[in-house]
């Protein structure tokens, strides 16, 4: 049995010895790796210290010297994307020849031009789209632009500028007013007087208990005050001589207008009004250069006040506006127009069509007021037509405008010889 036990113990001891040797070897390897890492970190630290402290100066790190790129701020401009999409659409269908570039002041803009396809020229039509639209708007604008050339009209739909946003009102800072400050001071004085008056009155009465206070009348004046002031004293105070005037006061200098060299910059609203007039004039000039002297301006929505403003300006500058016809479709007021649309129309002596479709935003009362104002001024050349609600309202409006143009604005071709 003892021999068997010795035999069984030998493998166990050998296994334990092997495990113990493995543990010792692992500890040695970990110590060596730790020593190697510590030596490497010491070397890196020494190199960094040598670089930063060489010549007594601290060298900046690469991350600090690298300039951070400035963040780009993108301002959204939806109108530019809208108009750019129109030009992309035309190029996609190989209709680039319809797009023309016009210049108004220092700004260039696009227009969509189609010549007449009938052989009997009637004139030129300038089409102004509504706000937040473009020259290829599928409702009303595109049917007019593409169908009227079949009846002898040259059409030009121009881009209208974007209406500027209302200016943000300045925010006033809060400041304590003089009245509030005075009220606070008076409250402090009244509190101080209230705290001192009982003590003072008590001192006066206790110091001389035999002295009785003078009776005070309803006006708050005691008899002692009345005795102190005699009529002679009052007369002397009222008749006291004024101080001697040594010299006359200086006369105020005459207010002469001083010309200020600094010119005030026009506001965004004024720039918008000027830009609209310039773009309409550029469109009219484009049609005139192609021999179109009979001009019809078709304005949709909020473009109607600007079309009436241009016609009124032409009539004022040349004493007449012959050769110009105005057609308004669902006309309404514009926020930046200084004169109401009805007042502008009252002074125009030209053929005018006021077409009202199912897309109109005016109330029936406003439409009635406009027609009544024209009748009151005996404007025989003005006509208001209200279209019935129809599923194909765009085509109905196009046919109605084409028929009205044939009756009231048809031109004749003049020989160039």
Q: What structural domains does the chain harbor?
A: 78-162+268-408 (3.40.50.1820)
101: left (phi over 0), alpha (psi -120 to 50) or beta: beta
Is-contact 105 278, C-beta < 8 A?
A: yes
Tokens of 36: 């190697």
* Terminal-residue alpha carbon distance, the chain: 144
| pTM given for the model | 0.62
Nearest-CA neighbor of 333 among 359, 310, 358, 367?
367
> Quick one: pLDDT at residue 191?
56
In this structure, what token pair is assigned to residue 9?
């113990």
> CA-CA distance, 64 to 221, in Å (whole number)?
84
* Separation CA 362–CA 333 (nearest Å): 9
Residues in the chain predicted with pLDDT less than 70, given as ranges, are 1-79, 172-240, 253-263, 319-321, 390-392, 412-417
pLDDT of residue 244: 75
- The three-state secondary structure class of 300 is strand
Token digits of residue 102: 């016009």
DSSP state of 239: T
| Alpha-carbon separation of residue 262 from 258, 265, 270, 354 (angstroms) | 12, 9, 18, 45
Task: Give me the pLDDT at residue 248, please.
Answer: 75
Alpha carbon separation from 403 to 11, 291, 308 (Å, rounded): 118, 23, 22
Judging by beta carbons within 10 Å of its beta carbon (0-12, 13-18, 19+), is residue 358 exposed, middle or buried? middle
**Is residue 242 exposed (0-12), middle (13-18) or buried (19+ Cβ within 10 Å)?**
exposed
- At residue 295, φ and ψ (nearest 5 deg) are -110, 135
364, 363, 367: which is closest to 342 by C-alpha?
367
Q: Which two tokens stand for residue 398?
A: 């196009």
Residue 103 φ then ψ, to 5°: -125, 130
Task: Say what percent of the chain tops pLDDT 70.
Answer: 59
The whole-angstrom separation of Cα 158 and Cα 114 is 12
Number of C-beta neighbours around residue 360 at 10 A: 18
Query: In this predicted structure, what is the pLDDT of residue 278?
Result: 94
**How far apart are alpha carbons 120 and 152 in whole angstroms?**
5
Q: For residue 142, give the nearest of 66, 89, 219, 215 by alpha carbon.
A: 89
Look up tokens 């406003």; give the residue.
366
pLDDT recorded at residue 54: 46
Residues ≥6 apart with Cβ < 8 Å to 298: 125, 126, 127, 128, 144, 327, 329, 401
Rounded CA separation 133/160 (Å): 9
**Closest by Cα among 61, 141, 123 to 359:** 141
If one counts every other C-beta atom within 10 angstroms of the C-beta of residue 9, the result is: 10
At 49, is the secondary structure helix, strand, or coil? Answer: helix
Two tokens, residue 121: 């020229």
Query: Residue 352 pairs with which residues in a beta bridge?
Result: 326, 382
């Amino acid at each position: 049995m003892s021999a068997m036990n010795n035999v069984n113990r030998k493998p166990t001891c050998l296994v334990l010895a092997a495990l113990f040797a493995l543990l010792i070897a692992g500890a040695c390897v970990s110590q060596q790796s730790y020593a190697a890492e510590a030596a490497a970190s010491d070397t890196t630290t020494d190199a960094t210290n040598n670089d930063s402290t060489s010549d007594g100066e601290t060298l900046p790190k690469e991350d600090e010297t690298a300039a951070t790129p400035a963040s780009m701020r993108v301002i959204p401009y939806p109108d530019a994307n809208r108009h750019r999409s129109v030009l992309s659409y035309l190029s996609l269908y190989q209709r680039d020849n319809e797009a023309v570039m016009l210049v108004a002041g220092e700004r260039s803009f696009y227009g969509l031009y189609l010549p007449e396809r009938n052989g009997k020229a009637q004139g030129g039509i300038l089409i102004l789209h509504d706000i937040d639209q473009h020259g290829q708007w599928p409702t009303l604008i595109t049917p007019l632009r593409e169908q009227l050339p079949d009846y002898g009209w040259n059409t030009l739909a121009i881009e209208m500028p974007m209406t500027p946003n209302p200016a943000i009102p300045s925010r006033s800072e809060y400041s304590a007013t003089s009245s509030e400050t005075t009220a606070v001071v008076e409250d402090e004085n009244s509190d101080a007087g209230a705290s001192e008056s009982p003590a003072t009155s008590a001192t006066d009465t206790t110091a001389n208990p035999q002295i009785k206070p003078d009776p005070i009348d309803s006006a708050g004046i005691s008899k002692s005050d009345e005795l102190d002031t005699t009529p002679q004293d009052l007369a002397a105070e009222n008749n006291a001589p004024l101080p001697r005037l040594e010299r006359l006061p200086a006369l105020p200098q005459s207010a002469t207008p001083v010309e200020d060299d600094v010119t005030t910059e026009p506001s965004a609203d004024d720039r918008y009004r000027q830009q609209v007039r310039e773009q309409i004039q550029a469109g009219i000039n484009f049609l005139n250069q192609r021999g179109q002297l009979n001009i019809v301006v078709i304005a949709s929505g909020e473009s109607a006040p600007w079309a009436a403003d241009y016609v009124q300006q032409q009539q004022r500058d040349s004493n007449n506006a012959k050769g110009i016809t105005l057609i308004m479709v669902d006309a309404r007021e514009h926020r930046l127009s200084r004169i109401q649309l009805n007042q502008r129309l009252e002074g125009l002596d030209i053929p005018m069509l006021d077409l009202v479709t199912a897309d109109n935003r005016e109330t029936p009362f406003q439409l009635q007021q406009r027609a009544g104002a024209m009748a009151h001024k005996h404007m025989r050349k003005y006509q208001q037509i209200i279209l019935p609600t129809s599923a194909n309202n765009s085509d109905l409006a196009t046919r109605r405008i084409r028929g009205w143009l044939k009756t009231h604005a048809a031109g004749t071709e003049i020989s160039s010889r």
